[in-house]
Homo-oligomer: A and B are copies of this chain.
Amino acid sequence: MTSVGSERNLTIRDVAQRAGVSISTVSRVINGKKVRDELQVNVQRVLDEMNFRPSAVARSMVRGRTQTVGVLVEDISSSYYAEMIKGIERILERTGHHPLFKSSHWNLQLEEEALQVFLDHNVDAIVVVGGLISESRLQDLAARMPLVLVGRGGVSVNAPTINLDQRGGAYGATRHLIELGHRQIVHISGPLTQEDAVARRVGYQDAMHDHGLEVRPDWLCEGDFLETSAFRATMHLIENGTPFTAIFAGNDQMALGANLALHRKGLRVPDDVSVVGFDDLPVSAYVVPPLTTIRQPAQQVGELAAHAAVALMSGEPAQLAPLELKLIVRESTRAVRR
């Protein structure tokens, strides 16, 4: 066999000529349509010999489908999205579709542009993860093509939506701390411009309230989901003498930032202060101390989204199994010292 794909500019025409048949026949052989046995084997042999591969572009042109799926996330390289992408990749690989990833970096304009690129390239479906795009725009989109939403309110949009109960997860995290006897619990939230950040904050507030605990205003800090913001917030908290025995961070990255600040200030985790995160990043099980957190099954979310997209593309309704957030108790939390 000649080296794989060692030529290009090979067209179905060349194959037809060499096999002494028409291009239609070659096309039929390629696509497994009915052809006289004798011709079939002959053409197939030539196909193999020439190592011919049909142009995906030309196919897309005539078929009107591209076998690609646009996937829009905030940031490909952020751990959480990366995990989700892995799940999407895994499923689409099996169905012969190709994901086309774009990052929007929490920027509405970039988001709109990415969507436009998807449209221009005639993707067969779009998966939108989070984002700032308006619901009406999404509704437009959903009306024109298969669309799957992940981690968005999207109640008004007529498209399958995968949502994890962020509020509930945060509630559980907070309750865990309360059950360990903590009363003075700080929450460092993500940027309140993001749905998830506020949902988690609400979960914290609800849990506190339901257990009859007052929330001091200075226990509510706003970060940006990155380590540094939580590091700073925690340093300030300590320097201001704000009393607290536990921190519930809006995500694991911020939990790590808080963790480091505590370390800097000579406070031990979990002996002096308990810390809970959110996400369960792959790394969270290996930091010292291993982080108690709320597991978001990011890969499963990705898989589910991909499945939904595939279903939609073949005209079937999407099946959405509800996914659960789970408290993973590790070693960054313990009963409050008395």
Residue among A77, A98, A101, A119 having the largest count of chain B Cβ atoms under 10 Å: A77
Q: Which residues of B contact A77 (CB under 8 A)?
A: 79, 82-83, 85-86
Taking CB as reference atom, which chain B residue is nearest A255?
A: B286
Do A120 and B256 touch across chains, with their CB atoms under 8 A apart? no
**Could you name 24 residue pairs across A and B whose Cβ atoms are closer than 8 Å?**
A4-B112, A4-B116, A6-B140, A6-B144, A8-B144, A53-B119, A55-B120, A56-B120, A75-B86, A76-B76, A76-B89, A77-B82, A77-B83, A77-B85, A82-B82, A227-B282, A227-B285, A227-B286, A231-B286, A257-B286, A259-B286, A269-B288, A287-B288, A288-B288
Query: Is A151 on the interface with B (CB-CB < 8 A)?
Result: no
Query: Is A180 on the interface with B (CB-CB < 8 A)?
Result: no
Do A82 and B76 touch across chains, with their CB atoms under 8 A apart? yes
Query: Is A100 on the interface with B (CB-CB < 8 A)?
Result: yes
Query: Is A184 on the interface with B (CB-CB < 8 A)?
Result: no
Residue among A89, A99, A253 having the largest count of chain B Cβ atoms under 10 Å: A89
Which A residues, 110 to 127, have Cβ-Cβ distances below 8 Å to chain B? Answer: 112, 115-117, 119-122
Roughly how many angstroms separate A168 CA and B89 CA in the complex, as a whole number?
35
Q: Which residues of B contact A116 (CB under 8 A)?
A: 4-5, 53
Query: Is A156 on the interface with B (CB-CB < 8 A)?
Result: no
State which of A38-46, A57-65, A304-312, A318-326 sits at the interface with chain B: A57-65
Which A residues, 287 to 319, have Cβ-Cβ distances below 8 Å to chain B? Answer: 287-290
Query: Is A337 on the interface with B (CB-CB < 8 A)?
Result: no
Q: Which residues of B contact A60 (CB under 8 A)?
A: 57
Roughly how many angstroms separate A256 CA and B288 CA in the complex, as a whole number?
8
Do A57 and B121 touch across chains, with their CB atoms under 8 A apart? yes
Roughly how many angstroms separate A227 CA and B286 CA in the complex, as a whole number?
7
Q: How far apart are A184's CB and chain B's nearest CB, in angstroms?
A: 22
Query: Is A103 on the interface with B (CB-CB < 8 A)?
Result: yes
**Contact (A227, B283) CB under 8 Å given A101-B101, A140-B6:** yes
Taking CB as reference atom, which chain B residue is nearest A269?
A: B288
Query: Is A94 on the interface with B (CB-CB < 8 A)?
Result: no
Taking CB as reference atom, which chain B residue is nearest A82?
A: B77
Roughly how many angstroms separate A117 CA and B98 CA in the complex, as a whole number?
9
Q: Which residues of B contact A263 (CB under 8 A)?
A: 288-289
Roughly how many angstroms separate A82 CA and B85 CA in the complex, as a whole number?
11
Taking CB as reference atom, which chain B residue is nearest A80?
A: B77
Roughly how many angstroms separate A147 CA and B289 CA in the complex, as a whole number?
44
Do A8 and B119 touch across chains, with their CB atoms under 8 A apart? yes
Query: Is A260 on the interface with B (CB-CB < 8 A)?
Result: yes
Taking CB as reference atom, which chain B residue is nearest A331?
A: B263
Taking CB as reference atom, which chain B residue is nearest A79?
A: B79
Do A76 and B85 touch across chains, with their CB atoms under 8 A apart? yes
Roughly how many angstroms separate A256 CA and B256 CA in the complex, as a whole number?
13
**Contact (A120, B53) CB under 8 Å given A86-B76, A137-B4:** yes
Roughly how many angstroms separate A115 CA and B290 CA in the complex, as a whole number?
39
Query: Is A66 on the interface with B (CB-CB < 8 A)?
Result: yes
Q: Which residues of B contact A193 (CB under 8 A)?
A: none
Q: Which residues of B contact A101 (CB under 8 A)?
A: 76, 99, 101
